[in-house]
Amino acid sequence: MKSKLERPTIGDVASKARVAPTTVSRVLNGGYVSADVRARVEKVIKTLGYVPSPTARSLKYGRKGCLGVVVESVHGPWFMGLLSGMEEELTKRRVSVLLGGLVVHGRYDSSTVQSWITERRVDGLVFARYTRRERDLLSSARQAQIPMTFICPDETEDLGFVARCRNFEAGRAVGQHLAELGHRRVAFVGGPEASIDAQDRLRGLKGALDEVGVTMRPDDVTFGPSYESEAGAQAAREYLRRGVANRPTASVVGNDAMAIGFMRELLKAGVRIPEEHSVAGFDGVEEGARFWPGLTTAEQPMEQLGRAAVAALLDRIDDPESDVAMTVEYPMPLSLRESTGPAPGASGVKRPRTANA
């Protein structure tokens, strides 16, 4: 018989709940069990006062109890949104995280992440916006048999589990909105040209404009070196160098950070938004709602993306045979704010009243 000083074990819980220890483990780690079994196990855990030992669990499975998250920059609202969702799942599973930024002070350096792999410091990796520059890391992780999941990758090869958004539909929704406002010359200011998200958004935008007989001009489609605010500001400066008669009436910008940089430059130059020029972005970051005029944007469910990637990775760590290729896609609802309005000179066009589409 156990003394009062001895802590209950997972075996004690399994015995009292009349299930196998592996079933208790699935309950603790958010795996699938029937509702009746889960309720019975959770009741026993509460009655016995059982507290799982992360250290013991890690030793049993030869794990570090830590995941690595790899992203170009650990700064910026898009990644912070992802991280918020990741933390929720990590806390639930009692797992810690290492953050690896690949660009530091403007220089690309993957050595930190490479050391995680070489030294087996992490049990798995989440790549946010994986690009071809990370192919060596991918190869090293595969050789080391480290599970991986991916958020919005910019490569089309078979990566395994991928969480991304329906960017074509988002671009189409933005295009339809601007067409309804009477815009017949629309510019696209994308992030990096190699970005799959950027290309899908552009295809959706073109498709919506084609439906109203508008073909985008080649000189109205540009791409920036990054998704940072400065890339949007540079695009705005190039826009302002055009003669007034040669300017589009609306710009669809690669993401919200770029769009805010773009709008700031236009506003500083005295361009009225949206009276003279409408602007729309993608992501739905909080700064876009706080900025004035408020930014019309197709919202990414960043927290859901982060949660999904971490949950899938933990499942693959627990059961390597579950590491099959699959892609989960999320819708991007259009949030209408003050940065878009009727095209200059468009008669009889009213701005839609709805806040979302």
Mean pLDDT for all residues in the chain: 88
Residue 310 CA to residue 99 CA, distance in Å, equals: 13
Distances in whole angstroms, Cα of residue 232 to Cα of each of 229, 264, 310: 5, 9, 31
| pLDDT (0 to 100) of residue 329 | 96
Q: What are the backbone angles phi and psi of residue 96, rounded to the nearest 5°?
A: -100, 175
Inform me whether the pLDDT recorded for 76 exceeds 70: yes
Burial group, residue 149, by CB count within 10 angstroms (0-12, 13-18, 19+):
buried
Q: By the 8 A CB rule, do 253 and 296 touch? A: no
DSSP letter (8 states) at residue 120: T
Six-digit token pair at 312?
């899938």
How do residues 269-312 score in pLDDT, each as one tens digit?
Answer: 999 999 999 999 999 999 999 999 999 999 999 999 999 999 99
Q: Of 24-33, 63-72, 108-117, 134-143, which range is least confident?
A: 24-33
Residue 220 CA to residue 133 CA, distance in Å, equals: 28
Closest among 93, 69, 149, 180 to 312, alpha carbons compared:
149
How do residues 243-274 score in pLDDT, each as one tens digit?
Answer: 988 999 999 999 999 999 999 999 999 999 99
Other beta carbons within 10 Å of 152? 22
| pLDDT (0 to 100) of residue 52 | 66
The arithmetic mean of pLDDT across residues 200-221, rounded, is 97
How do residues 213-222 score in pLDDT, each as one tens digit?
Answer: 999 999 999 9
How do residues 81-140 score in pLDDT, each as one tens digit?
Answer: 999 999 888 887 788 889 999 987 788 999 999 999 999 999 999 999 999 999 999 999
Inform me whether the pLDDT recorded for 193 exceeds 90: yes
Three-class DSSP category at 71: strand
pTM, full prediction: 0.78
